[in-house]
Each structure stands twice: as C-alpha cells, then as structure tokens.
Copies of this chain bind each other. A is one copy, B any other.
Amino acid sequence: MTELVTGLAALAPSERLLCGPGPSNVHPKVLEAMRFPMNGHLDPDFWDVLLELVEGLKALWRRPGGLSLCFSASGTSGMEAGIENLVEPGEKVIVIHSGFFGARIAEIARRHQADLIELTAPLGQIVPLQQVEETLRANPDTALVGVVHAETSTGVRYPVPELGELIRTTCPDALLLVDFVTSLGGEEVSPDAWGVDYAYSCSQKSLGCPPGLSPFSVSERALERVRGRKTPVPFSFDIDLLEKYWVQRPIAYHHTMPILQYYALYEGIRLSLEEGLEARWARHQDAGTYFQEEMRSRGYTFLSDPDHQLWELSAVDVPDGVDGKDVQTRFLREHGIEIGGGLGPTAPPIWRVGLMGVNANRETADRVLAAFDAVLPR
C-alpha cells in the first residue's frame, strides 16, 4: 500500500528526432489537424469525414473492393483482430517468422487456440518459399497463413507477392494475413494485387501520424469467412460491427472513436495522396539506401540478408567491443536523437534506425550519420 499523490509534476518532454523503429516524428500539418474543432462521433459532419476517410483508406491500401477501415487501437491490436476475426479455435494456421513481430503472430494464434504450425529462419534471413510450399502441400486444410512483410525487429522484407502467388496455386482456400506495420506508406503495399486477405498497419511510422490507430484492409472472400463463423468474435474488433458503424447510414453505434486521432490519420492520408504514393515510396527508398551506403562506407554491417533489406528501417550490427545501449543513450542525451536497440531477450546486438514519414530524406539521414561519427569516431 502506498500513499496517494495529491498532484502531478508539469509534463515537460524534450525535443526528439525520432529515428528509431517508430514512432517517427509527426508531420506539422497532421499536428495542425489535431487542433481542428473536435466534433462528436455521432455528429453527421463527422460521419461525412468517416466516409471520405474510407475512400482514402481504400486508395492507401489500393483495394477498391472488400473493406478498408481502421481499428481505434494499436497495430498489435490490428494483428490480434485479424486472428480473432479470421480464425476459429482448432483451425490450422501456418505462421512464417524470423523476428519479434512474426513470433507475436504465432503467440496470438496460440492464445486463440489455433492448430499452429511455425516456420522459422535465423534472424536476418527469410523462411524460403520452397519450405513454405512443402508445408502448404502437406497441409491442404490450412485456414490461414500469417507473415510480416517488413519485420521491424530485423529490417527484413518478406517476398509477399511471391507468397501470395504460391498460396493461390498450392492451397487456394487458405487466407493470407500480412503485417504491413512498417511498410505502409514507405514502399509498395498492394494487398489486392498480391492476394492478401487481411492486411494491417499502424499510423506512426511511414504515414507520419501519431501512434494509436491500426488501418486494415480485408478481401471480399475474407469478409465471407467472417460472416460464416460458428464462434463469436470479441466485440471491440468485430469487423462486421465496425462496417455497420463506419459505412452504414444511419450508423450503428459501436464505440466512441478517438476523433483527434482520426483527424490526424485523415490528414496523413491526404498528404500521402497529395505527394503521390509512388513518390513517397521513392523518397523512403532514397533516404534508406543512402543511409545504408553511407554506413557501409564507414565499415558498418547490417543484420539483414542484403537481398531482403528494408529501406524504411535498418538493423545495424553493433561492432565488437561497443556497448550498443550506451551509444543509444548518448544519441538521446547528446544529440536528441532516438535510435532503437534489439527487441526482446533473444535479440542480437543491433541498432535499429528508421527513416520514415517526414524523416525519410537525406538531410535527416545526415543528422543520424553525424551522430554516429560523433559518438563513435573512426
């Protein structure tokens, strides 16, 4: 038992250049949008905003049909919501993983009583498609395959288009669930063209919004699967109820939406479309590859297999004899820059550097490089 406090100190956070694995810094116009007059979630003007936002989400996900909405929760909840909506207890689920977030998909599938098969590879590598193919052929009753497109813990990209094609040809009844948390807005993400039935992401990385929301996109056939379920879905993340809330008029009230966060997401998507998705991807690619080349020229190496290296996020190997944690602290205290470390107890010694959203440019890369040079002079 402790005493209850009678007051709190004033909040006074310091400025940060957020170049870790996310969140990235919020675009100034997105911050402005959060200062617009707050309407209620049952205000008919806000319902119009929601309908326009649905069009924006469809464009962002490049899926004209199906359903593209957003959960009022974190990307982790978006991950769990996919399993909750698409998998029934006892159904066979294959999770392909070689990183913290892929392993989390497996953990969540386990908690929801899936009949789980895990395919893993060493950190920095991908599970070969050949191995996935063999597993699919041996398990034609697979209900769902789960994988992370851009693994935030290792900087590795999975070849999702090829995986989608493989499922289509070898195990066409299996749904494909993909985590696009780090890639949406930072590189091509085309779930419809790639055969991804359930795609989810977050607001705070390449989209340049604050954390708190999980945009998602579902295929028509996955929606049919949800509608034909035998066991109920938890209320909070029931896609069917959310569709009635977002899209039907009059709306069927579901929960009180975080209005200011949705203003932010709206503005983030508006800015993304204004810039052009292809231009935005190219900007992220240019910033990330520039950073990686510069780091390589300084002798640094990366955790990821070069054939599968992300550009939004780079996992830099901590050189022998260097205390990675101490370097992170000095970045923060001496340069006001956040970079990440390894995630979880089994992570190798790495730094994770993200150049996402407003930070995806060479000027920001140069600030990070300058901090590396200052903290670890050659």
Contacts and interface: CB of A to CB of B under 8 A. Distances in A.
B18 A73 contact: no
A75 B4 contact: no
Given A52-B8, A202-B256, A253-B344, A16 B2 contact: no
A4 B64 contact: yes
Contacts of A80: 234-236
A117 interface: no
Interface string A37-72: 111111111100100110110110010110000001
Contact of A41 (B23, B73, B111, B253): B23
Nearest to A108: B235
A111 B270 contact: no
B7 A258 contact: no
Interface in A268-298: 269-270, 273-274
Q: From DSSP, what is the main secondary structure of chain A's interface residues?
A: loop
A273 B10 CA distance: 12
Contacts of A26: 38, 260
A74 B72 contact: yes
Contact of A38 (B18, B112, B257, B332): B18
What is the interface residue range for chain A against chain B? 35 or more
Given A236-B73, A259-B210, A4 B62 contact: yes
Interface in A15-34: 15-16, 18, 20, 22-23, 25-26, 31, 33-34
Interface in A298-341: 329, 332, 338, 340
A43 B332 contact: yes
B256 A23 contact: yes
B107 A11 contact: no
Which 6 A-B residue pairs are closest in the complex by CB-CB distance?
A212-B258, A76-B255, A8-B270, A74-B255, A111-B232, A77-B236
27 contacts: A2-B65, A3-B64, A4-B58, A4-B62, A4-B64, A5-B56, A6-B273, A8-B269, A9-B52, A10-B270, A11-B36, A13-B45, A20-B42, A34-B34, A34-B260, A42-B338, A72-B212, A73-B77, A74-B258, A76-B255, A111-B235, A112-B234, A204-B256, A211-B257, A211-B258, A212-B212, A253-B344
Given A7-B270, A110-B232, A211-B259, 13 more contacts: A8-B269, A13-B36, A13-B38, A15-B37, A23-B38, A34-B260, A40-B338, A44-B332, A84-B234, A111-B235, A210-B259, A210-B260, A234-B234
